[in-house]
Structure 1
Amino acid sequence: MRSCVHFRFHKKGKKKKKNKKKQQKQKAFESSRRQEAVMAEGRSDSVEQQQKSHHNQNQQHEPSTTTTTTPTPPTTGPVFSGQTTTINNSINSSSLITTAGSSSSSTSGGGGQCLLQRRATVTAATNPSVAPTASVGAASGRRNTMDGGSTETTSTSSSYPHDEVEVAQMGIHMLLNNGFREAKELFDSHKNESPLMHAGSSFMLFMQALMSFEEEKIDEAIKALQDTEKTCDPESGVFKNLRRKFSKKKKSHTEVQMGSEDRMQRQIIIADSLLYQAVLTFTHQDIPSYIKGGWLLRRAWKIYERLHREISEMLSRHSRTKLSQSSDSISSSNSDVRLSQDGTCTDGNDNELAKDVLERLLGSVNFGYGTFQLCVSMVPPKILKLIEFLGFEGDRNAGLDALNHTSYSKDMKAPLAILGLLWYHTVLRPFFALDGTKTSAGIPDAETIIKNRERDFPRSSLFLFFRGRVHTLKRENEYSLLLYRQALTVAAGQREIELMCLYEIGWCNLMKLRWIECLQAFQRLREESKWSKCYYSYLLAVCHGSLGDIDSAANIFKEVPSLVRSKNNQIESFASHRAEKLKTCPPVSPELCKLLTLELVFLWHALPTCTEPELRKMLMVCESQRDTRIFHLKCLLEGAIHKELGETELAIQYLEEALARHSGKKDDVHVAAFAHYELSSIYVHDQPSKSIQLLQTIKEKYKDYDFENRLTVRANNMLRSLKPAG
């Protein structure tokens, strides 16, 4: 009995202590609330004072107009810091609205407002019909005074800062609408605050390197891509990965939940960085580069494959959950799996992501996946063996489907997928003869893309460039020249795009045998481009010689071999061989230089884009040749021209003569190899077995000749199309 009484008293003592602690906590909480209320009142007073002073300034400077604004306090840190910030797409009553002329004076302070002003500039650049305004929305974590000092905190529905995605997409749109400098400034100024902005900055360098092919640009882009990879995965490295793998410390559930979208986005950026590095590494065209590039591709492929499967499964689970709820709402409400009001598929712990976020991530993955598939499907046979050894192969159709999916997504790379598709249909398909003799096969696809997307990029120099490519494939070279010149004017200040347009202008004039216009374009390319002075010097030499300026042509031909920068560069190797050979040949003549011009047009697979009058003019050049030592080349070109004119019998006759005249020669091996290919393309429909035999001869008999990779890719594509028939 005594022990029971003691127990009851002991229990009451514990309860008193607990109640006392609760009272202390309640008092501390109430005092903190009072302090916060005082601080809020002080902030509201300061805001009112700022508003009054701002209103008085407006009355002094603009007495004829009156505007009532509710200014938002400047943010204390950058937009893409640890706190998430949302940028409203529409302007509401609580936004600060300023015109372009007064925004710089009325908004000052933190990096957040700076970025918002940039976004307004981006909007004006991407949509000229919209007046330039700056809108500032409420940020999560920021407290706004409402209704007598009460506070309200806004927050984003997802763990990932979606304003970052929007601004990155705006930067890409700015890039494609001739705002290259502004886009670069936007990405560079925030690349240390966000992996996505860091990826945008490095991608711009990658794009510059790919358009210019300059060694300095390539090295700079590779270094930037490696920095982006490290930014997204600071624990990268063999030993760090092993340590992390075998570490006993596990991530908390909250850490996993908050980082799900961020983790996927970072992994996609890492895979993209590896893919871009591989593409740039392949440009060196040597065995070590092929091995290194293949290894980078394998690493990227593993990430793409895993993420594609993971995101697809989450989307599928989301669809099943939604279907289950629509069919049985009562049972769904009692289920462990539910769909939230904002369309987020959750498992009770909020581990899943919203459907729109998953669709954006899938579009982001598909860009790299599609680019990967297209690149691998068009590599030369030598590299293809290495790629097959590494355990993957390219599927061109799968790559096109993936890029098409991305082009309609809300990811920042959607416009880039559009450019990738246009590049494939207007450049790669005809150059590598992916459709056999049908060089115009990509025209309908390219025209559809341009028609559907041109309003989003009304003044884009790149869209003008691709429109020019479409008309070139249509053999409308005069109109394509007009478009290239327009693109050159619009792209003023964007060096890489200017050089691309200049190159096409030079080549269009070369196909028309307009030597003076060619000289102007190629002279500027030689001076301004750092890619290959050897190649542009060779083009200048043949143009000077064709005009009759033999001395200038001979002097430039002498310089060409000394300008070679890479022995593995097939174009420089070809130009050097030709220039060296001219030292032992008879004096350089206008007729010979004109024939060498036609050889370039043929090797670049540009004859199918020439009109009949242009082709007839080229035949006259061939007929003017008198030196029998170059008749094998003359006959090859005559055969190819007659084939394009539809004169099959004459084409076969000249091509067989080219093979006969080359027999026994040790140089110009490419003449015999290309003659076999031209003959096989003639027999492809009527005698497929003979066509296959000629293509096999190319692969087995001829090695180490000029443009071997270029021809074997075309031969492999034709063999692939003939196998069912054969």
Structure 2
Amino acid sequence: MTALDLFLTNQFSEALSYLKPRTKESMYHSLTYATILEMQAMMTFDPQDILLAGNMMKEAQSLCQRHRRKSSVTDSFSNLVHRPTLDQFTEEEIHAEVCYAECLLQRAALTFLQDENMVSFIKGGIKVRNSYQTYKELDNLVQSSQYCKGENHRHFEGGVKLGVGAFNLTLSMLPTRILRLLEFVGFSGNKDYGLLQLEEGAAGHSFRAVLCVMLLLCYHTFLTFVLGTGNVNIEEAEKLLKPYLKRYPKGAIFLFFAGRIEAIKGNVDAAIQRFEECCEAQQHWKQFHHMCYWELMWCFTYKGQWKMAYLYADLLSKENSWSKSRARLEAQDCREISTHREVRHPEIQTLPLPQPDLLANPSSENEYSVDDECLVKLLKGLCLKYLGRVQEAEENFRSIPANEKKIKYDHYLIPNALLELALLFMEQGRNEEAVKLLETAKQNYKNYSMESRTHFRIQAATLQAKSSLENGSRSMVSSVSL
């Protein structure tokens, strides 16, 4: 807990130095040390950082294995005839189980990060399965009448809630085709149960409470946009962040999430201030700066301050180890947009169009013309949607599938236009029409750019639309009964 406190006050090296002497003997010291290294690896994408974190997590797992009962939870509980009771495990053995499951889960995450080929996927999958089964059995133990709370029970329970919550939330977001395959080998995920477990874990006074908070903040401020419908619970995110921001006013992690919340709320100047504070708060981990640069680039883009947006895109291009091509592309886009004219609406200060000449002079066609025109239609449709000009937004979205045969390269535009049209219909309560569009987007289009991400969003939208339809049916039945 002391090391965690150091970490949250940006004293990263001090936290590692504090933990290191006991990493060979204490499961929790070893696991925490490896977790901090893994956080660093996930921000840098540096092969050496990934390798170091992987080796440390492997050592932590070996230490946990030594403390586990010879007949482990999953071994014992998979046998229905000879199920031992919880009192047959010492407190140390039960903590060893939850720490072991966490090591497996984190090693799997590193495996995916390190190499995306099929062999690595299978290796990571085996770790994930073992981890999932252990968490599942531990959750059953905590719910059972035989569960007797030990001296450090809150840390054990916090670990179970973290793992069970993370698994359920992650699995619930997976596209249907992947989920069917995973359900076949015993995986299943319930979003509401996952959120509930993480919320309970975040509210508890355990070592892992802050990890539950971070996962929930990631979900509310990133995943709901990147892999979902953008139906965010910003009030919940603020409530989770508030006590940590009060306790750690200079904590870089919390300042970053505070910036994200302000950006989502549309308070762009307040967001910029938070991201700048985050950069000033610490100088040891430059990767935090890179995350802020990315957000600052977009904040200045929203304000139409193209030179500042370009500055941050250029910094990312030169300093970070993520996708160089993407950072350079963003820098180029910011520079080009800044030299182009702007189309103005009374409701929007500036709506930049990347290729105004395309609309001004349609006769100057080339092989990219239809693709570019459809991209502008998609962006324009989104702007019109948020202005409340629903009919015009619908016309723009519909025009893209109508040009399907003419699109040469940007095939992602069609399924994404169908997805946006479905989301527009859902806002109007036209859920049956939305489900049909989502099915078309899912079934009829393959092998396009960012396909996996689009499928995540289609899955989230489909679940939301079907849930609304079911609730509507129940309401009708209730009113008929009355």
TM-score by length of 1: 0.57
Look up the match of 2:81: none
* Structure 2 residue corresponding to 1:675, chosen from 414, 417, 422: 417
- CA 1:700/1:547 → structure 2, altered by over 3 Å: closer, same or farther? same
Q: Is the 8 A contact 1:377 1:394 kept in 2?
A: yes
Look up the match of 1:428: 223
Mapping of 1:180-329 within 5 angstroms?
180-234=12-66, 260-283=90-113, 284-313=115-144, 316-317=145-146
2: CA distance between counterparts of 1:178 and 1:461?
7
Q: Is the 8 A contact 1:312 1:362 kept in 2?
A: no
Mapping of 1:535-614 within 5 angstroms?
535-547=326-338, 612-613=347-348
Look up the match of 1:493: 284
1: CA distance between counterparts of 2:275 and 2:105?
30
2: CA distance between counterparts of 1:621 and 1:463?
38
- CA 1:187/1:542 → structure 2, altered by over 3 Å: closer, same or farther? same
* Structure 1 residue corresponding to 2:439, chosen from 674, 683, 696: 696
Letter in 2 for 1:718: A
Deviations 1:251-285, CA, capped at 9 Å, x for gaps? xxxxx999712211221111001111222333455
Q: Is the 8 A contact 2:381 2:394 kept in 1?
A: yes
Q: Is the 8 A contact 1:639 1:650 kept in 2?
A: yes
2: CA distance between counterparts of 1:258 and 1:686?
55
Question: 1:536 Cα shift?
Answer: 1.3
Q: Secondary structure at the match of 1:221?
A: helix
1: CA distance between counterparts of 2:458 and 2:357?
29
Letter in 2 for 1:423: C
2: CA distance between counterparts of 1:386 and 1:542?
40
Letter in 1 for 2:185: L
2: CA distance between counterparts of 1:539 and 1:619?
14
Q: Secondary structure at the match of 1:412?
A: coil
1: CA distance between counterparts of 2:118 and 2:177?
10
Letter in 2 for 1:387: L
Deviations 1:74-116, CA, capped at 9 Å, x for gaps? xxxxxxxxxxxxxxxxxxxxxxxxxxxxxxxxxxxxxxxxxxx
Instruction: State, as a whole percentage, how many aligned pairs show the same letter.
Output: 26
Q: Secondary structure at the match of 2:313?
A: helix
- CA 1:619/1:496 → structure 2, altered by over 3 Å: closer, same or farther? closer
Q: Is the 8 A contact 1:631 1:661 kept in 2?
A: no
Look up the match of 1:469: 260
Mapping of 1:635-714 within 5 angstroms?
635-684=377-426, 685-714=428-457
- CA 1:278/1:622 → structure 2, altered by over 3 Å: closer, same or farther? farther
* Structure 2 residue corresponding to 1:723, chosen from 466, 473, 476: 466
Deviations 1:192-220, CA, capped at 9 Å, x for gaps? 23121010110001111233344443333
Q: Secondary structure at the match of 1:300?
A: helix
1: CA distance between counterparts of 2:275 and 2:188?
36
Deviations 1:389-430, CA, capped at 9 Å, x for gaps? 221111111111212222233322112211111111111123
Q: Is the 8 A contact 1:214 1:530 kept in 2?
A: yes
Look up the match of 2:237: 446
Look up the match of 1:412: 207
2: CA distance between counterparts of 1:212 and 1:673?
32
Q: Is the 8 A contact 2:358 2:373 kept in 1?
A: no
Question: 1:300 Cα shift?
Answer: 0.3
- CA 1:699/1:405 → structure 2, altered by over 3 Å: closer, same or farther? same
Question: 1:531 Cα shift?
Answer: 2.1
TM-score by length of 2: 0.84
2: CA distance between counterparts of 1:292 and 1:515?
45
Q: Does 1:179 align with 2:179?
A: no
Question: 1:288 Cα shift?
Answer: 3.7
1: CA distance between counterparts of 2:353 and 2:306?
17
Letter in 2 for 1:208: Q
1: CA distance between counterparts of 2:112 and 2:193?
22
Look up the match of 1:369: 164
Q: Secondary structure at the match of 1:663?
A: helix
2: CA distance between counterparts of 1:659 and 1:259?
61
Structure 1 stretch displaced more, 468-477 or 458-467: 458-467
- CA 1:235/1:445 → structure 2, altered by over 3 Å: closer, same or farther? closer
Question: 1:623 Cα shift?
Answer: 7.6
1: CA distance between counterparts of 2:378 and 2:291?
29
* Structure 2 residue corresponding to 1:618, chosen from 341, 349, 352: 352
Question: 1:621 Cα shift?
Answer: 6.4
Structure 1 residue runs of 5 or longer lacking an equivalent are 1-168, 246-255, 319-351, 549-589, 596-610
Higher relative helix content: 2
Q: Secondary structure at the match of 1:723?
A: helix
Letter in 2 for 1:405: E
- CA 1:622/1:173 → structure 2, altered by over 3 Å: closer, same or farther? farther
Mapping of 1:387-398 within 5 angstroms?
387-398=182-193
Q: Is the 8 A contact 2:314 2:331 kept in 1?
A: yes
CA RMSD of aligned residues (A): 3.0
- Looking at CA atoms only, which structure, 1 or 2, has the larger radius of gyration? 1
Letter in 2 for 1:635: K
Question: 1:235 Cα shift?
Answer: 9.5
Mapping of 1:68-217 within 5 angstroms?
169-217=1-49
Structure 2 residue runs of 5 or longer lacking an equivalent are 76-85, 471-482
Q: Does 1:483 align with 2:274?
A: yes
- CA 1:216/1:257 → structure 2, altered by over 3 Å: closer, same or farther? same
